Amino acid sequence: MNHQNEVRPGESPGAPVLRATGITKRFPGVLAVDNVDFELRAGEVHTLLGENGAGKSTLASVLCGAYQPEAGAVYRNGEAVILNSPHDGLTHGIAMVHQHFRLVERFTVSENIVLGDPSIGQFLNRNEVDAAVAAVGEQFGLPIDPTAYIYDLAVGQRQRVEIVKALYRNADVLLLDEPTAVLTPTETEALFVTVRAMTKAGKSVVFISHKLGEVAEISDRVTVMRAGRVTASVEKTQLDRHELAHLMVGRSTETDAQRYASNPPGEPALVASEVSLVTGGRTVLKNIDLAVNAGEVVGVVGVSGNGQRELADVLAGLAETTRGSVTIAGVPLSHVGAKRARKLGLAFIPEERVGTGLAPSLSITENLLLTRSRPTFISLRTTRQEARELIDEFEVKAPGPNAACRVLSGGNAQKVLVARELKGDGTPPAVVIAAAPTRGLDIGAIEQVRGLLHDARERGAGVLLISEDLDEVLSMADRIVVLYDGGITLEQSRPYEDRSAIGRAMAGIA
């Protein structure tokens, strides 16, 4: 345990309005929140800081009643409460604004806001309701048009509707889940003005973020989470961005066995030159220059949502670049797509395992067959034998080779996927692109997957490892690049001496 309670008693005047002790929440195969304590005082902005998958949103969902924890207790104004639904949370004055808004698109703003409010009476008096909604908005400096339809509103305005909805229902604890992720800088500024207006009115705000700059600006207190645990809780006066960056990404690599290339790298296997990608008017990849040579692992690190998924898709030939080119073994990928990329020796382990990686309702055997060169008639028997060997070798917990991949747990599905991609039908891959290959896996499975990636490198493959797990990347990659806001902001080769520089680059602190 790594509990580090740095809060000095008596430092902040507010009494705790919300407190949680020993919260543990598990999802199939994942321990999302592990024995966490949390406290929110009246009138404060308390930030939950951490990487994606650190457990911030899960903890907040427990606090608002959306998830029920396996262990732990929630106290509201000192009294233990049991929250079985978000509605229970609301009756205790706790409301959460989710990343994916809970709004009915075809309703007006005020219809959304009064939905489920018993105090409006049996009949819907639109004028009255509109006036009440507008008044609440006005009070907190959140002007909204109550008669507008949600589908006409921009994202920032929708978020405003969510906040007004919470305020209209008299919530005085607001949990904002990555509220700035969808906002423009101007909208973010406006949100901060609102947050300050709310805390001034005595409301308390839990602010979830992984952006250090804004956290330092808005927070009174910061609790850092990492891998489901609280690693630190810091008062505003002690806020130090660099220290927070450390706490976010962790300090030690000792837990991970180091595996590096035993031979010098060979020819360039996968090359991206000046690759840019614009989707839906947004530039998601900016001028990426990246070369992966045969026999080396190049790691891509960064906080999720900074272009990793798009980069993987472009390099695997699943998405067309807007500018620039991608080549595998010197052959350009443009206009040829995924099938050609595979012919050139690409193995791809996508972030979404079941769905993109594996066909959910097909059996393990059939999923192995998907990437094989198939004659007109396929031999199920030999492949089924292979599937059986795979199940034995990797201790896949599956009823048998005919089990549908959708019934496998995340870790077991990943073993099937990685084995298919890396062992293949005997010919070693020339290029491996692995996105978050070990996320959610248990330690044994992690070791096996890393072992397979290492073997692929030793057999001459150029491996691109895209992962949010910095420790993993640093323990395997011969070189790393940091992806921030769609561009490469830092490049380092091992040994990685300046770990804090990596953390800062990931957090976008120049």
- Are 41 and 421 in contact by the 8 Å Cβ rule? The answer is no
Query: What is the distance between the alpha carbons of residues 411 and 439, in angstroms, rounded to a whole number?
Result: 8
Q: Distance of CA 385 to CAs 382, 421, 482, Å?
A: 5, 17, 42
Query: Which residue, 106 or 343, has its beta carbon nearer to other proteins?
Result: 106
**151 is a site residue for other proteins (CB under 8 A):** no
Residues that contact other proteins, how many (by CB under 8 A): 26
Which strands form 94-97's sheet, in the order they lie side by side? Answer: 94-97, 173-177, 204-209, 45-49, 221-226, 229-235
Q: Identify residues 207-236 at the interface with other proteins (CB under 8 A).
A: none
Q: How far is the CB of 365 from other proteins (least distance, A)?
A: 28
Query: What is the distance between the alpha carbons of residues 138 and 244, in angstroms, rounded to a whole number?
Result: 36
Q: How far is the CB of 6 from other proteins (least distance, A)?
A: 33
The pattern of x and - marking residues 65 through 104 that bind other proteins according to CB under 8 A reads -xx-----------------xxx--xx----------xxx
Q: How far is the CB of 218 from other proteins (least distance, A)?
A: 25
Q: Identify residues 11-50 at the interface with other proteins (CB under 8 A).
A: 27
Query: Which residue, 37 or 117, has its beta carbon nearer to other proteins?
Result: 117
Query: What is the distance between the alpha carbons of residues 40 and 197, in angstroms, rounded to a whole number?
Result: 17
Query: What is the distance between the alpha carbons of residues 332 and 343, in angstroms, rounded to a whole number?
Result: 13
- Are 309 and 382 in contact by the 8 Å Cβ rule? The answer is no
> Is the peptide bond between 332 and the residue preceding it cis, with omega within 30 degrees of 0?
no
Query: Which residue, 163 or 481, has its beta carbon nearer to other proteins?
Result: 163
Q: How far is the CB of 443 from other proteins (least distance, A)?
A: 22
Q: How far is the CB of 227 from other proteins (least distance, A)?
A: 18
Query: Which residue, 65 or 462, has its beta carbon nearer to other proteins?
Result: 65
Query: Which residue, 116 or 141, has its beta carbon nearer to other proteins?
Result: 116
The pattern of x and - marking residues 471 through 490 that bind other proteins according to CB under 8 A reads --------------------
- Are 417 and 366 in contact by the 8 Å Cβ rule? The answer is no
Q: 403, 414, 302, 412: which is closest to 362 by C-alpha? A: 403
Query: Which residue, 58 or 209, has its beta carbon nearer to other proteins?
Result: 58
Query: Which residue, 116 or 266, has its beta carbon nearer to other proteins?
Result: 116
Q: Identify residues 101-120 at the interface with other proteins (CB under 8 A).
A: 102-107, 111-112, 114-118, 120
- Are 34 and 24 in contact by the 8 Å Cβ rule? The answer is yes
Token duo for residue 371: 């990437």
Q: Identify residues 116-145 at the interface with other proteins (CB under 8 A).
A: 116-118, 120-124
Query: What is the distance between the alpha carbons of residues 419 and 440, in angstroms, rounded to a whole number?
Result: 17
Query: Which residue, 124 or 155, has its beta carbon nearer to other proteins?
Result: 124
Q: How far is the CB of 159 from other proteins (least distance, A)?
A: 15
Q: Distance of CA 341 to CAs 265, 300, 325, 359, 372, Å?
A: 22, 20, 13, 19, 14
Positions that interact with other proteins (CB under 8 A): 27, 66-67, 85-87, 90-91, 102-107, 111-112, 114-118, 120-124
